[in-house]
Amino acid sequence: MTDDPSRKVDISRRRFLASLGTLGLGAAGLMLPGAAQAAKVKPDDELVTLHDLSKCVGCGSCVEACREANARKFPEPVRPFPAMYPESVKVEDWSGKRMVTDRLTPYNWLYIQTARGQFQGQRFEVHIPRRCMHCQNPPCANLCPWGAAAREDNGIVRIDPGICLGGAKCKSVCPWEIPMRQTGVGLYLKIMPRYAGNGVMFKCDRCADRVAEGRKPACIEGCPYGVQDIGSRTDMVAKAHALARNMGGYIYGETENGGTNSLYVSPVPFDTLDAAATTGPGKPHLSPVRDMMADEDKLAYAALFAPVAGVIAGALRLGSRLAGGGLKETKPGARPAPAAARPAPDDETESLALPKPGRDDFNLSLGPDRKTDAPTGKPGRPAEPGEGGK
């Protein structure tokens, strides 16, 4: 049997890139405290959130809880904004639209996406809480040139606002384009305001500070219908499959982009929901997503540049701390305490103890005045004012 030379070349190339990943990313881990780019940890060390979409009524309580809990982290831009070079770099200013809740913004890290249509002869209305997916091997953390994005051992992916320069690399490599930029805030104003970035990127950090204290994320505590649960990856994946079997449903997030720590279970297929929902800037899709970091070019970039990014991040973090900024360190791997062991404020109620309203199998709340037909294709994704990239 004759060996295939092209196959040998391909295998050699893959092994070479893999060895670079081991060396390069290992070095970056030494220089980036709290970061875990491309690092694999035991499944039970990762915290996963599970969304049962058959329970969600779209009340928005989770959105309100998220905004209240994270308001102190929201940006306060400094005006006037510096003119950027080149001029094609556009200002992205959401500070005058802080009350927008129907999409992701730097001031709204979670929103309710609604899909209406027909499936198997029945009308449906499904509400989907959308935020960062917290990927297991996140391109944003692997490919940020400044080391500002990092994945912690407990699976939370965070952006350090103290060293982020707002270059939006994280958004461009995110399959769902989750991170959102606010101009006029951050370290770029103190170094090269015309040339270095354009602000800071913001997204859900899954209430890392609360999790570090043994508490649940605000969106989970604030939901009156028990839509979300949180626990180890092993437990949540098993629960998602059991839930999907019981309702004859479908799972999203388990394998998308190589695996995420945000799982959704729906009685309606996700391709049907994707076609029926409005998607576009700040409104993520629900399409299948291949593993972005399986791309050899991205792997090579991450492996070769990680040590450099680690040094840059260390320098930026030191400068930011001297200037009074930076991300407060939390304990990686910390877990929410059991509800019985966690003291609750007087006005806090455990969401799972509240009664659930009656719903049919598809969480239908449709009347004769509802729109019944799903679009035949996904809506377009036109650029909105202020959505300019760098």
Residue pLDDT, tens place only, 137-169 = 999 999 998 899 999 999 999 999 999 999 999
For residue 268, pLDDT over 70 is answered with: yes
Residue 43 confidence class, pLDDT cut points 50, 70, 90: low
Question: How far apart are alpha carbons 64 and 222 in whole angstroms?
Answer: 8
Looking at 171-175, 190-194, 352-356, which range is the least confident one?
Answer: 352-356
Domain count, the chain: 1
Q: Does residue 175 sit within a domain?
A: yes
Report the pLDDT value the prediction gives residue 196, as an integer from 0 to 100: 72
Question: How far apart are alpha carbons 199 and 323 in whole angstroms?
Answer: 16
DSSP code string of 63-127: HHHHHHHHGGGS----SSPPPPSSTTS-----GGGTT--SS-BTTBS-EEEEEEEEETTEEEEEE
Q: Does residue 136 sit within a domain?
A: yes
Q: What is the mean pLDDT of residues 14-39?
A: 41
Question: How far apart are alpha carbons 239 and 229 in whole angstroms?
Answer: 10
Question: How far apart are alpha carbons 227 and 315 in whole angstroms?
Answer: 42
Report the pLDDT value the prediction gives residue 180, as an integer from 0 to 100: 98
Q: Which range in 4-13, 19-28, 45-54 is most confidently predicted, on average pLDDT?
A: 45-54
Residue 91 confidence class, pLDDT cut points 50, 70, 90: very high
Report the pLDDT value the prediction gives residue 114, as an integer from 0 to 100: 98
For residue 362, pLDDT over 90 is answered with: no
CA distances, 156 to each of 26, 204, 260 (Å): 19, 9, 10
Report the pLDDT value the prediction gives residue 313, as an integer from 0 to 100: 53
For residue 96, pLDDT over 70 is answered with: yes
Q: Does residue 365 sit within a domain?
A: no
Report the pLDDT value the prediction gives residue 89, as an integer from 0 to 100: 82
Q: Does residue 30 sit within a domain?
A: no
For residue 49, pLDDT over 80 is answered with: yes
Report the pLDDT value the prediction gives residue 85, as an integer from 0 to 100: 82
For residue 253, pLDDT over 70 is answered with: yes
Phi, psi dihedrals of residue 341, rounded to the nearest 5°? -95, -5
Residue 93's CATH number? 3.30.70.20
Q: Does residue 376 sit within a domain?
A: no
The rounded mean pLDDT for the chain is 77
Residue pLDDT, tens place only, 303-344 = 555 555 555 555 555 555 555 655 554 443 444 433 333 333
Q: Does residue 283 sit within a domain?
A: yes
For residue 302, pLDDT over 80 is answered with: no
Report the pLDDT value the prediction gives residue 60, as an integer from 0 to 100: 98
Q: Spell out the residues 6+ positions from residue 346 whose beta carbon is closer than 8 angstroms to its own.
A: none
Q: Does residue 217 sit within a domain?
A: yes
Report the pLDDT value the prediction gives residue 318, as an integer from 0 to 100: 56
For residue 299, pLDDT over 80 is answered with: no
Residue 32 confidence class, pLDDT cut points 50, 70, 90: very low
Report the pLDDT value the prediction gives residue 98, as an integer from 0 to 100: 98
Q: Which domain holds residue 335?
A: 38-353
Report the pLDDT value the prediction gives residue 369, as an integer from 0 to 100: 33
Q: Which helix (DSSP H) or strand (DSSP E) does residue 221 occupy? A: helix 218-222
Report the pLDDT value the prediction gives residue 197, as an integer from 0 to 100: 78
Which SS3 state, helix, strand or coil, does residue 60 take?
A: coil
Residue pLDDT, tens place only, 5-21 = 444 444 344 444 444 44
- Pick left, alpha or beta for residue 243 (phi over 0 → left; psi -120 to 50 → alpha; otherwise beta): alpha
Q: Does residue 54 sit within a domain?
A: yes
Report the pLDDT value the prediction gives residue 323, as an integer from 0 to 100: 58
For residue 239, pLDDT over 60 is answered with: yes
Residue pLDDT, tens place only, 279-288 = 999 999 999 9
